[in-house]
Amino acid sequence: MFQDIALAGPILLPALAALLLLGVELLAGGRRSQGSFLLCALGALVALIYTGYFLANGRTGLAFNGTLNVDNTALLIALIVHFSALLAVLLSRSYLAARRDADAPEYYSLVMAAASGMAMLAAANDLVNVFLGVELMSIPLYVLAAIRRKSARSVEAGLKYLLLGAFASAFLLFGMGLLYGASGSTLLSALPAEIARLETNGGLAAFGVVMFLIGVFFKVAAVPFHMWTPDVYEGSPTPVTAFMATATKAAAFGLLLRFTPVIATGMGPEAGSSMLAVIAVLTMFVGNLGALRQQNLKRLLAYSSIAHAGYMLVGVAAIVAEDGGEIALTGSSAIVFYLGTYAAMNLGAFGVAVVLDRGEGREGVNELKGLCSERPLLAAVMAVFTLALAGVPPTAGFLGKLYVFSCAVQARMYALAVVAVLASVVGLFYYLRLILLMYFTPREEGAEPRLLRTDSFLAVASFVCAVLVLWLGVLPAWFVDFVEATVRG
């Protein structure tokens, strides 16, 4: 029993922090202080170190009758989730200081609750736990999106997220019901064998897999289930958007990786991988083409995050195509590597967005004009994140793309790999536009003076992200080896 609780630490620690924070806020009786910020950052840090310790010492295994499978992939995903939570909390402080209406007592508690759900989703090995993880992740995020309840934009973002999130959950749950009906089991690891054994049910499993995947596609913002993303990302408080964009993706792709054997058995490797490949291609192009015409930095990053979900789906399609074997391992480690680097560069870019934030609906890309001459360091940091998101060497973004696309080649899906490279080329345009604005476009005459909102926590967070992005890009060997070695177990 104690062993089980220890293994579930990456899930339980943030949950504990969430409860503690609620209690502290209750006792503080509305007097706002730095206490909950520090407590929350500490909670995320402890969860991060705990997960890292388990990972480094290979403390993995099944917990609670096999309903949680805390393997290395789950721990790596939890590590990315807790890293994102910590950095989002660090970004929050200066944002909340500027926006008093977002500074609700439950803000930090909700961040920790969502992190707990994400870690649970990554480790879930039972459909019940998958559902609980998805909801524990989503419900706090609905509230966080709408936390500025006097702001029509924020509430609208929360409402759209809630309605479409609940719609997606219904698909997910219906799919789970059908999978249970096709197998008589709720254990994810037992599903493929049981589905194959009860083959009489015919299309039931395939139908279940499709419904389940629709639910997951909503969560990762894959086309055609991406409509909510730009609105929700724009309307939510910026640090919350950063957290949503990185940690939710990590958790949902962790679930998808664990679900690949079920896709391959339920739909057949060819049908499953073809469907995933089509969705991946659509997602990459809709994301990149949508971003081209955006004037709002947060909306631009939202479309960019859609495109990145597409790149990662290329890897998932490759894994399903081969159904087990070598590619399952290389594919998983490529996607986990991508998720880790994406977390660093995206959180960094959103950090800069927090600094430049002028207020609602004015998060325009024009704020970047002439940034280089006024704030060379900020411009340089943003340039690093932008190049990494575009996938330009020597940043980590390039290597992430390289690994994921080479999985498609390994699975002999050459056309998919070529299309993915073409999509990244389209993506180059809008990322380079940001760089051009920063370095080669002077600021307009008579423009309002900049309001740079920053503090030391935000600076540290952006610096850590920039260093990670460059370090993983220039000297990736240790991280790649680490991820590969741990995913292989």
- Provide the binding-site residues for other proteins, judged by CB under 8 A: 127-128, 131-132, 135, 139, 142-143, 146, 149-150, 152-153, 155-160, 162-163, 166-167, 169-171, 173-174, 176-178, 180-181, 184-186, 204, 230-231, 234-235, 294-296, 299
* Type and span of the H or E element at 351: helix 326-356
Minimum Å gap between C-beta 66 and other proteins is 13
Q: How far apart are CA 290 and CA 385, in angstroms?
A: 20
CB neighbours of 342 closer than 8 A, spacing ≥ 6?
Answer: 246, 249, 308, 397, 400
- 389 closest CA partner among 358, 348, 444: 348
**C-beta of 7: minimal distance to other proteins in Å?**
21
Q: Between residues 11 and 176, which has the closer beta carbon with respect to other proteins?
A: 176
Decide whether 235 or 476 has the Cβ nearer to other proteins.
235
Q: How far apart are CB 180 and other proteins at their closest, in Å?
A: 5
Instruction: Considering the complex, state which of residue 227 and residue 377 has its C-beta at the smaller distance from other proteins.
Output: 227
Task: Report the distance separating Cα 277 and Cα 269, nearest Å.
Answer: 12
Question: Minimum distance from CB of 356 to other proteins (Å)?
Answer: 18
Taking the complex as a whole, how short is the minimal distance between the CB of residue 242 and other proteins, in angstroms?
A: 18
For the CA atoms of 352, 354, 356, 362, the dihedral, rounded to the nearest 10 degrees, stands at 130
Minimum Å gap between C-beta 227 and other proteins is: 11
Nearer to other proteins, 21 or 465 (CB): 21
Q: Give the nearer residue to other proteins in terms of CB position, either 298 or 401.
A: 298
Of 176 and 352, the one with the shorter C-beta distance to other proteins is: 176
* Closest residue by Cα to residue 420 from 261, 324, 279: 279
Q: Of the candidates 210, 139, 199, which has an alpha carbon nearest to the alpha carbon of residue 174?
A: 210
Separation of alpha carbons 120 and 343, rounded Å: 18
Q: What is the DSSP string of 180-219?
A: HHHHS--BTTTHHHHHHHTGGGTHHHHHHHHHHHHHHHHH
At closest approach, how far in Å is the CB of 232 from other proteins? Answer: 8
Q: Which is nearer to other proteins, 28 or 152 (CB)?
A: 152
Q: How far apart are CA 160 and CA 146, in angstroms?
A: 10
Question: Nearest approach, Cβ of 151 to other proteins (angstroms)?
Answer: 8
CB atoms within 10 A of CB 169: 18
Q: CB of residue 169 vs other proteins: minimum separation in angstroms?
A: 7
Residue type, 301: L
Residue among 49 and 227 whose Cβ is closer to other proteins: 227
Q: Who's near 271: CB < 8 A, 6+ residues apart?
A: 206
**CA–CA gap between residue 84 and residue 241 (Å, rounded):** 11
Cβ atoms of residues 256 and 220 within 8 Å: yes
Q: 243 or 311, CB closer to other proteins?
A: 243
